[in-house]
Amino acid sequence: MLLSHVVAILQVNDSYGDGMADFVQDALEANGATVGYSGGPIYVDNDENTAVGVYRRYTKTDKDGHMQEIAYAVPASVILDAWGEYVCEKRYQPQRKNLHKENDFVYQALKTDFTGRDAEIELLNRFVQHNDSPLLWQAVVAEGGSGKSRLAYEFAHSLDSTWHCELVTQADLTVSKLNRIYEEAGRNLLLIADYAYTDTNELGDWIENILADTPEHDIRILMLQRQGNDPNNKSKWLESLEKKLGNVNDYMFAPEIRINRLSKDDIYIVMESYAQSKGKTLDGKECGALYEALERVDPELLRPLFAMFITDAYLEDPKRPLNWKREEALEHFCERERVAINKAVSEDCQDAAQLLTVLATITGGYSFKKGELPDFDAFEATENIGYKLYKAGIAVKADKEYTVDAITPDILGEYFVKMYLETHFNDIPDILNAAQEHKPSETDDFLTRLFTDHEADLDFIEKCCNNYLNAYSVSWGLVRRADKDKLAAIYERSKDPKIKSLLCVQYAKGLFNHFNNQTDSEEAKGILAELKILHETAHNDEVTVEYAKGLVNYIGKFSDSAEAKGILAELKILHE
């Protein structure tokens, strides 16, 4: 398999540039040849005895003036090492698997049938086909593991050739890069941000520039974001974009698309198709047992990602996942990842490999050069870390820089980091600071996702709130969970006046979100009473706004006309 991959690449010709000539020349010299090589097509011959060789055919004039065709053969085994080093420098690794990307659970693996999303696809088609504005954005909202990315992938591939689709990361959200993407597209453009980022200032600048003149082609921006428990609080990216553009609703096509849970039949299809991708089959009884397990692991959402987790574990050991709880499922696959990393490297490199994987997962990919790693004992104890991780398939190498990729899917990577930080509790501030220094926006986003998706104890939360930026991101996650008790506790514990003021506002937002979840009027009144006390003691305008929002929503949900009059009087006092 490896040899056939090399053969296929060599047949392309020297599309990799000048380095190809150096590579072939080295291989020829290694085989005792003296003739030079200056580029051009490379031919591969495979005779009946499967003796594979690399040839360079060219013409030359002999001493009598006759033209001769010269060919030099090099056994493929001679050139494999040189080829591997060359292509790795070009960020292309046919002979190495990237350990963190060899993952059946990421949406790009396409291990399951795409099912149950006809309504969402129809809404997205209306979004791109709407012709009243040259630029529109739309958000797709759901919890992690619900299938947002797969939905966007399938939709993008369903569009006709009048559309160019581009998946963008935080690094792409600059005016220059967005301009290049738009210009190179040369047709209608769909930008997909595969989770909405905190820092959207340059995206706002680009939108302003684009709209200064009428765009030649339509532009659609699809933002994929976590749902959390905050339907009435704006996402951080939306707040950032609104500060830049004013009323972002001018460019919004329609209210956000919220992905609903799949039906039982669709979950069966997910499990059956995943098993088929592994060369196995599931009967109806097995699907029923796995569905019951899913109801225990993910009772509220029945996410397809957890359906895949359970099916994968069942195929390994039919008894293992049937009585799992959510944390046990995540721990199983995180432990599998940890063991795979340790097996890939020598013992002296294991601590460094684990820590770099954590930093990479927090920051969405961690790049470094030799001698440029942050000051941690795990790095000091290991020489040539980058090269060792590159040889192990954990890092890729380009222009003397090594890059370790994040563990995906996100919900699994988040839990991997959480498990690591819990066992390296005293190092949490230093690890988060190192991540912030490397990629601040991505670190902010990660912390919010981590504390949105996963329960954490109070000591762990407090340790992660080691500075203002981290406290902001962590508390946003708790706001989205509407975890008012944890917000109240870290607010009370905080000693830093600036952080305490921030956490006071976030506590108010968490109370408001918790209020919106209530169906019982007495419970709602209790939460309003907490908000009122916080308003009266904090003397903070943002807290007052949350209290006022709660009063308004209470009128709409619970009050009769007489009670409404009293609440309106309270609102009038707040206004004055």
Omega into 75 within 30° of 0, i.e. cis? Answer: no
Tokens standing for residue 497? 């006046």
Mean pLDDT for the stretch of residues 28-50: 41
pLDDT band at 575 (very low <50, low <70, confident <90, very high): confident
By the 8 A CB rule, do 194 and 139 touch? no
By the 8 A CB rule, do 507 and 534 touch? yes
Q: Determine if residue 186 is left, alpha or beta; phi over 0 gives left, psi from -120 to 50 gives alpha, anything else beta.
A: left
Q: Bridge partners of 395?
A: 404
Q: Using the predicted structure, report yes or no on whether residue 230 has a pLDDT greater than 60.
A: no
Q: Using the predicted structure, report yes or no on whether residue 100 has a pLDDT greater than 80.
A: no
Q: Identify residue 450 by its one-letter amino acid code.
A: L
Q: Give the pLDDT confidence of 325-384 residue by residue, as tens digits.
A: 999 999 999 999 999 999 999 999 999 999 999 999 999 999 999 889 999 999 987 888
- Dist CA 472 CA 465 (whole Å): 8
Q: What is the mean pLDDT of the chain?
A: 81
By the 8 A CB rule, do 574 and 531 touch? no
- Dist CA 494 CA 462 (whole Å): 8
Least confident among 211-215, 301-305, 511-515: 211-215
Mean pLDDT for the stretch of residues 557-573: 82
Least confident among 2-6, 146-150, 446-450: 2-6
Q: Using the predicted structure, report yes or no on whether residue 399 has a pLDDT greater than 70.
A: yes
Total Cβ atoms within 10 A of residue 540:
15
pLDDT score of 227: 65
By the 8 A CB rule, do 105 and 61 touch? no
Q: Using the predicted structure, report yes or no on whether residue 497 has a pLDDT greater than 50.
A: yes
- Dist CA 417 CA 474 (whole Å): 14
Q: Give the pLDDT confidence of 403-424 residue by residue, as tens digits.
A: 999 999 999 999 999 999 999 9
pLDDT band at 97 (very low <50, low <70, confident <90, very high): very low
pLDDT band at 228 (very low <50, low <70, confident <90, very high): low
By the 8 A CB rule, do 138 and 148 touch? no
What is the CA angle 448-453-457, rounded to 5? 85
- Dist CA 300 CA 458 (whole Å): 24
The pTM assigned to this predicted structure is 0.78
By the 8 A CB rule, do 351 and 339 touch? no
365 alpha carbon, distance to own chain's centre: 10
Q: Give the pLDDT confidence of 295-307 residue by residue, as tens digits.
A: 999 998 999 999 9
Q: Using the predicted structure, report yes or no on whether residue 317 has a pLDDT greater than 70.
A: yes
pLDDT score of 358: 98
pLDDT score of 423: 97
Mean pLDDT for the stretch of residues 88-113: 58
Higher pLDDT: 406 or 89? It is: 406
- Dist CA 99 CA 101 (whole Å): 6
Edge-to-edge strand list for the sheet holding 135-142? 163-168, 188-193, 219-226, 135-142, 257-258
Q: What are phi and psi of 165, to 5 degrees?
A: -110, 135
Strands 67-75 and 52-61: antiparallel
Q: Identify the three-state secondary structure at position 141.
A: strand
